[in-house]
Amino acid sequence: MQAALAPACNTHSGQACVNGMLPISRANARWVSPPVDWFKLNVDGTRDHNTGFAVCGGLVRDHDGRWVRGFAQSMGVCSPIEAELWAVHEGLVQAWVLGLKRVVWK
């Protein structure tokens, strides 16, 4: 199976990076839908190992996998866990703004 590359290296992953990218298996990159009439929030946050500069992003999809809203933002310098937590926070804010009450997060 051919490997894809993740968007950036996290210092807490413990995996070897190739040109700033982590190899991942396409077999693990599968989206699982939420229950009918629910929405799913997928988020990620990461930081550059050398500079500490972090970014986060994510998207909200309905139970059929249709895109509802996406977001991306830079966060300046922070830790990998802070980047992940900001991604979750921003995703939940986006869901709240949309008035979504039935949201699962992955």
pLDDT by residue (tens digit) across 24-39? Answer: 455 566 889 999 999 9
pLDDT at 20: 52
Contacts of 102 (CB under 8 A, 6+ apart): 34, 35, 37, 38, 39
Q: Is 42 exposed, middle or buried (0-12, 13-18, 19+ CB in 10 A)?
A: middle
DSSP conformational letter for 35: S
Alpha helices in 1-106 (DSSP H): 80-97
- Indicate whether this model's pTM tops 0.85: no
CATH number of 31-105: 3.30.420.10
Q: Which of 14-18, 35-39, 55-59, 76-80 has the lowest mean pLDDT?
A: 14-18
